[in-house]
A = this chain, B = another copy of it.
Amino acid sequence: MNREFLSIVAKLSESSNILVVGHIMPDGDDISSVLSAKIGLERLGKNVLAGIDWRIPWYFYEFEEVNQILTYEQVKERGFRPEVVLIVDASSPDRVGQFQEFFDSTTVLLMDHHATNTLFGDHNWVDTKFGSTAQMVVRVNNELGVPYDEKLATLNLMGIATDTGFFRYSNADETVFSDATKLVSLGGKVHLVSRIFENKRIEQFKLLSTMVDHLRLELDDKIVYSYLSKEDYENNNCNEDDSGGFVGELRSLRGVELAIFLSEYDSGEVHISFRSKDWFDCSKLATMLGGGGHPRAAGCTIKGDLYVIVEEVIREAKNLFLTSLTSLNDSASK
């Protein structure tokens, strides 16, 4: 058994007051991991708060437990003094936002599956072989003896399902499936997880049409990109939460290897998502641009004018794509 894993389990076991923290711009795996860890530790009689320093997209409120996740301000107001902070799914300290302030006064435990993780905790269990951080939470909860029921099993499944694109991505390996099988046998319901994506508004279809209108292909249709400006969101009566799956739609186009979606979150701030199908390393591109992630799914944030950023990002993407393609072909011909 991994030593860092055992250290984290031991620290959690001996602590009474625990703060569980997720990352900014939270996704399904992050929210699942935060809630599964929090509820698991509470079932062992511990005093636990959970926090994420970011607005949580509306569709996750399909699970009422999401209301248990506090903002940084709410955690501070409560005057909570945790002995340990358990950070899940965050690859670098900036990803936890203002919760970094707790680092000096507590022991920081870190659990993550991102290869770009900077190991910023006192104990770092980072293992890229897992398709989701939620699977790491399963193992910690099991080791701690947390009892599971339908509610906890379903919340924990959410991370496995969402980080593997509902078992469709290449990270959906045997461990992913056997972990999911186990949670389903404990009462977990994937169809309840899929509800978070079955609450679409008609406006989201209109927003998709706008994105398709902006769609461009590059490098013999191997790269596809599109963007939405703050004005596009407003014109469609939408906000950034409503375009959650759009980069996946771009990726689903025939022949595409790299899909890029740029979203103007606020004037002067652009969120960029990268997805690839077979071989392009999105995390390399995202890291070059100040972000991070996985080989097949990564992202970054850039401040400045949307249209200037679109130009810059696509230029960088094309350069790295061509360089990578050359070395791919070189190694294939060896």
Pick the most buried of A190, A200, A201: most chain B CB atoms within 10 A of its CB: A190
Contact between A205 and B212 (Cβ–Cβ < 8 Å)? Answer: yes
Query: Oligomeric state, in number of copies?
Result: 2
Q: Does any Cβ of B come within 8 Å of A191's Cβ? A: yes
**Contact status of A194 and B168, CB under 8 A, knowing A253-B201, A253-B202, A254-B200:** yes
> Considering the chains assembled together, what is the distance between the CA atoms of A199 and B221 in angstroms?
12
Interface residues of A in 110-142 (CB under 8 A from B): none
> Considering the chains assembled together, what is the distance between the CA atoms of A204 and B199 in angstroms?
22
> Considering the chains assembled together, what is the distance between the CA atoms of A205 and B185 in angstroms?
38
> Considering the chains assembled together, what is the distance between the CA atoms of A185 and B168 in angstroms?
16
Pick the most buried of A198, A201, A251: most chain B CB atoms within 10 A of its CB: A198
Contact between A254 and B199 (Cβ–Cβ < 8 Å)? Answer: yes
> Considering the chains assembled together, what is the distance between the CA atoms of A174 and B190 in angstroms?
10
Interface residues of A in 179-216 (CB under 8 A from B): 180-181, 184-185, 189-191, 193-194, 197-202, 205-206, 208-209, 212, 215
Q: Does any Cβ of B come within 8 Å of A323's Cβ? A: no
**Contact status of A181 and B178, CB under 8 A, knowing A168-B191, A212-B202:** yes
Contact between A168 and B166 (Cβ–Cβ < 8 Å)? Answer: yes
Contact between A167 and B174 (Cβ–Cβ < 8 Å)? Answer: no
Contact between B167 and A198 (Cβ–Cβ < 8 Å)? Answer: no
> Considering the chains assembled together, what is the distance between the CA atoms of A230 and B244 in angstroms?
32
Q: How far is the CB of A175 from chain B (nearest CB, A)?
A: 9
Contact between A212 and B206 (Cβ–Cβ < 8 Å)? Answer: yes
Q: Does any Cβ of B come within 8 Å of A172's Cβ? A: yes
Contact of A174 among B181, B193, B212 (CB under 8 A): B181
Pick the most buried of A189, A194, A197: most chain B CB atoms within 10 A of its CB: A194
Residue of B nearest to A189 (CB): B170
Contact residues in B for A189 (Cβ distance below 8 Å): 170
Q: Does any Cβ of B come within 8 Å of A94's Cβ? A: no
Q: Does any Cβ of B come within 8 Å of A252's Cβ? A: yes
Contact residues in B for A209 (Cβ distance below 8 Å): 205, 208-209, 212
Residue of B nearest to A178 (CB): B181
Contact between A198 and B166 (Cβ–Cβ < 8 Å)? Answer: no
What are 30 A-B pairs with beta-carbon distances under 8 A? A161-B168, A166-B167, A166-B168, A167-B167, A167-B180, A167-B190, A168-B190, A168-B191, A168-B194, A170-B189, A170-B191, A174-B184, A177-B177, A178-B181, A181-B181, A198-B252, A198-B254, A199-B252, A199-B253, A199-B254, A199-B255, A200-B252, A200-B253, A200-B254, A201-B253, A202-B253, A205-B209, A205-B249, A206-B212, A208-B209
A interface vs B, CB < 8 Å?
161, 165-170, 172-174, 177-178, 180-181, 184-185, 189-191, 193-194, 197-202, 205-206, 208-209, 212, 215, 249, 251-255, 277
Q: Which 4 A-B pairs have the closest CB atoms?
A: A168-B194, A177-B181, A199-B254, A170-B191
